[in-house]
Amino acid sequence: MKIAVCVKIIKGDINPFDASALECALRLSDDVTVISMCPPSSKDALLALTRLGAKVILLSDAIYAGSDTLATSHILSSALSKIDYDLIICGRQTVDGDTAQVGPCLSAMLGIPVITNVMEMPVISDKVKCKTRMGEEEASLPCLITVERIAELRFPSIRSKVGEVSIWDNSVVGADKEKCGLSGSPTRVLKVFESEDKMRRCRFIEKEELIPLIKKLSEEKAEKEEIKEAEIKMPKIYAVGKEVLPVAKKLSDNVVEIGKKDAKEIAEYLKAENAEVVLWNADLWGRRTAPIVSAMLRTGLCADCTNLETDGEKLYMYRPAMSGDVYAKIECRTLPQMATVRCETKSADIVVSFGKGAKNSLDEVKILAESLGAEMAASRGLVDTGKAPYEHQVGLTGKKVSPKVYVALGISGAAHHTVGYEGAKYVIAVNNDKDARIFDYADFGVVCDIEEIVGLF
């Protein structure tokens, strides 16, 4: 079976999700081609991948600079149409752009089915069967799948030889120049600014106060977050999914709701309606379907927006970037202007998250957390030891949770982790190191050994 893997090199390293995609491909086949669109300076990182036995193609041309996800997908799809493949594997998303759009966009451009957020090694027969974050799914070959961080990229043997990286410029790739680079990109970043400080003011408490506090905070009545009404409104907005209706209604008095239908059906409807603005709920379904529709309509899409503004005509979309370190204000120059928007999601009232520091008392603390009705979660530190499943991982390369109370047990508080629980109302951290970073990102803290809290539940 021929497998193509799309890989992005970020600051000299392979994007972690793409590393997982490559490892999956290498386990499934001996015929793996890596395709990467990046500047020539990334060649060394790509050369290392040839030692794993993969053929590597670097797509590099000055006209590709500044490409957004739609332009990138166009370039990658042009290159992929020059090679034979049965299966294309992409990482779920890049950790710098965080859009998760290229996989679904590519599938639409190549006219093949897509399965996103694959959580286990796929099973291949005449079909591809996958366990995804949304359940069991299958598609016939050829198809494209995007994988979560489900496999660690192996180290090449010291005896393995370095191969060659083929460099393809646009005379080989044959992408439409009008659809490449900055000028071919419908979305444009207007400004980038530092994100507000996500630090919390930690109040240290005694360990005996821990359980009553968790119970008290989890029973607090949820206040409804008021979305600010726009002063100037847009004439009409199409909202896909009822979750996004409150946001749409603040921006327009004329909102048309669209149900969660097939991407092609939605694209045809929006085209017939000459829709100018379309908002989607940024849930897993929306983040898979909206990019497919954006490719079908050849329009820009801004992913995972946390705020929207308008001057009555243009939609200004705000979203976190670079793992939440900065915010970007983005506009779309084509119609319809589309955005997936973070909407209120249902989360358990209490999430208890275990880190490497909880590994020795894991079984005891788990049973006790269950008695609180809590959902279980984990840091990558613990997941990497094999003591928690990847489904539980919270953070940049895991999932995001927004419970009323997030309890972090034995977690150091790396930025990669804290970004995953920013939506939590209260955070309580337990750690035996009083200087642990997690306390700067918690509302309450207990300085003690995890073993000491076992008897408290």
Query: Which residues are at the interface with ligand FAD (CB under 6 A)?
Result: 16, 95, 355-357, 379-382, 393-398, 410-412, 414, 416-417, 431-433, 436, 449-450
Least separation in angstroms between residue 304's CB and ligand FAD is 16
- Cα–Cα nearest to 203, from 418, 404, 442, 407: 442
| Beta carbon of residue 445, minimum distance to ligand FAD (angstroms, whole number) | 11
* CB nearer ligand FAD, residue 337 or residue 361: 361
CA-to-CA dists, residue 326 to 41, 195, 232, 319, 409, angstroms: 25, 5, 27, 9, 28
Write down the least CB distance from residue 224 to ligand FAD, Å: 29
The distance of closest approach from Cβ of residue 276 to ligand FAD in the complex, given in angstroms and rounded to an integer, is: 37
Give whichever of 374 and 409 is closer to ligand FAD, judged by the CB atom. 409
Chain center to CA of 139: 22
Cα separation, 358 vs 419, in Å, equals 20
Output 207 or 233, the one with its CB closest to ligand FAD. Answer: 207
Nearest-approach distance from CB 363 to ligand FAD, in angstroms: 14
HEC secondary structure over 196-216:
CCCCCCCEECCHHHHHHHHHH
Question: Could you tell me how far CA 19 lies from the centroid of its own chain?
Answer: 15
- What sign has the CA pseudo-torsion 211, 387, 153, 72? negative
Nearer to ligand FAD by C-beta: 110 or 450?
A: 450
CA-CA distance, 240 to 256, in Å (whole number)? 9
End-to-end CA distance of the chain: 53
Cross-strand pairs, 302 = 339
Angle made by CA atoms 51, 384, 434, in degrees to the nearest 5:
130
Shortest distance, position 379 Cβ to ligand FAD, whole Å: 3
Q: At closest approach, how far in Å is the CB of 350 from ligand FAD?
A: 18
Q: How far is CA 229 from CA 233, 248, 252, 255, 310, in A?
A: 9, 10, 9, 14, 11
**Shortest CB 383 distance to ligand FAD, Å:** 8
Compare residues 299 and 431 and give the one whose CB is closer to ligand FAD. Answer: 431
Dmax (CA) for the chain in angstroms is: 69
Nearer to ligand FAD, 74 or 92 (CB): 92
Residue labelled with tokens 């705000």: 318
Nearer to ligand FAD, 170 or 393 (CB): 393
Coil, strand, or helix at residue 387?
Answer: coil
- Residue 111 or 455: the one with the smaller Cβ distance to ligand FAD is 455
User: What minimum distance in Å lies between the beta carbon of 95 and ligand FAD?
Assistant: 5
Q: What is the amino acid identity at position 97?
A: G
Cα-based distances in Å from 227 to 32, 266, 344, 423: 48, 27, 11, 15
Nearer to ligand FAD, 293 or 396 (CB): 396
| Residues facing 192 on adjacent strands | 328
The least distance separating ligand FAD from the CB of residue 27, rounded to whole angstroms, comes to: 22
Inter-CA distances, 292 with 100, 216, 317, Å: 11, 44, 19
To the nearest whole angstrom, how small is the minimum distance from the Cβ of residue 136 to ligand FAD? 24
SS3 assignment, position 351: strand
Q: Closer to ligand FAD at the Cβ: 6 or 396?
A: 396
* Ordered DSSP codes for 59-74: E--GGGTT--HHHHHH
CB-nearer residue toward ligand FAD: 202 or 414: 414
Tokens of 426: 């209260």
